[in-house]
């Protein structure tokens, strides 16, 4: 257990529905990341927050995706009008940057299946 919690662990939804995932990072960590991983591939960066500010978004994050971290603690990732291509593992990670070093602690992910 890394201390990063993600909920739910699994989500099955029908195409066109909206889904929301939650991530609770390690409490003293000021940075939070979202990654996506498809079968057989390494995780791909989606977006990250420093405290409550969303500082960068990948081109992978289409307009249907939105992420928030309202109080600089937990974060949510919402996907609107889901498509079958959104099926993947969504991973959250948190970190406390110290100097130039930064170790990311990942949660176990939310596995999304879009039917």
Partner 1 sequence: DAKTTQPPSMDCAEGRAANLPCNHSTISGNEYVYWYRQIHSQGPQYIIHGLKNNETNEMASLIITEDRKSSTLILPHATLRDTAVYYCIVPPLEAAGNKLTFGGGTRVLVKP
Q: Name which of 77, 64, 96 is nearest 20 in CA terms.
A: 77
Q: Is 48 in the site for partner 1 (CB under 8 A)?
A: yes
Q: Name which of 23, 7, 6 is nearest 68 in CA terms.
A: 23
Task: CB nearer to partner 1: give 82 or 90.
Answer: 90
Judged by CB under 8 A, the residue of 13, 50, 66, 73 near partner 1 is 50
Q: Is 59 in the site for partner 1 (CB under 8 A)?
A: no
Residues 6-45 that bind partner 1 (CB under 8 A): 31, 33, 42-45
Residues that bind partner 1 (CB under 8 A): 2, 4, 31, 33, 42-45, 48, 50, 55-56, 91, 93, 95, 97, 100-109
């Amino acid at each position: 257990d890394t201390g990063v919690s993600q909920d739910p662990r699994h989500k099955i939804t029908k195409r066109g529905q909206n889904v929301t995932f939650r991530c609770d990072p390690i409490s003293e960590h000021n940075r939070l990341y979202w990654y996506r991983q498809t079968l057989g591939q390494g995780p791909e960066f989606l977006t990250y927050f420093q405290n409550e500010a969303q500082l960068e978004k990948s081109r992978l994050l289409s307009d249907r995706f939105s992420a928030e971290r309202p109080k600089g603690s937990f974060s949510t990732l919402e996907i609107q009008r889901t498509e079958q291509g959104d099926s993947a593992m969504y991973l959250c990670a948190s970190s406390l940057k110290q100097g130039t070093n930064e170790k990311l602690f990942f949660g176990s992910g939310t596995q999304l299946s879009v039917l």
